[in-house]
Copies of this chain bind each other. A is one copy, B any other.
């Protein structure tokens, strides 16, 4: 069975998954790299990194995924739709290695990158996007890659089987929240919290069986 999964989505104590304002120079706004430092210290990111609980969670990002869906705000800075040459933040060989659907109201032709990543642009809601992504995933799982607005949309639509959040001990104060509109989310999920020696807390949401 092909699941819909979210991995390594980092949030502040006050629930912001990105700061503001987002720009080409500061993709996460005033949050800078603070939401992701925990990951830079792991072997998942750096061969010399740690292989503990942070790594164990981080590397799940890559296993058994056949397609990704991301929002327009993850693919590029504000205004990327006006740059016909924009191919994402990640250089010629992006770290997705699968069909990668970008939700945008201004679709453009697909872009085949090195390493197996193909960007496909789609003007669609969560259910339709998921159906299309599932069709390209070869029976493997579909990852919802973020950002927070897209994640909230899939959660609110009841389409997420597994979510892994990483709570970082900072108070951002402003940005885009993950929790808005998700009252009683725990009714549908088993929630687990595991704190790490690095200071972050891993939160996993596993959909309850019917």
Which A positions have Cβ atoms within 8 angstroms of B? Answer: 13-15, 167, 169-174, 177, 179-186, 191-195, 199-201, 203
Number of copies: 2
- CB of B195 within 8 A of CB of A201, answer yes
Given A13-B203, A15-B13, residue A193 in contact with residue B173 (CB < 8 A): no
**Cα(A195)–Cα(B199), bound, Å:** 11
Residues of B within 8 A of A192 (CB): 169, 199
> In the complex, what's the smallest C-beta–C-beta distance from A149 to chain B, in angstroms?
16
Q: List 23 A-B contacts (CB under 8 A).
A: A13-B15, A14-B15, A14-B179, A14-B180, A14-B182, A15-B179, A167-B193, A169-B191, A169-B192, A169-B193, A170-B184, A170-B186, A171-B182, A171-B184, A171-B185, A171-B186, A172-B183, A173-B181, A173-B183, A191-B199, A192-B199, A193-B200, A193-B201
B residues within 8 A CB of A200? 193
- Which residue in chain B gives the minimum CB-CB distance to A183? B173
Which B residues are CB-close (under 8 A) to A186? 169-171
- Neighbouring B residues of A14 by C-beta, 8 Å: 15, 177, 179-180, 182
CA distance A103 to B77 in the complex (A): 47
- Complex contacts, A15 vs chain B, CB 8 Å: 13-15, 179
Among A179, A184, A203, chain B packs the most CB atoms within 10 A around the CB of: A179
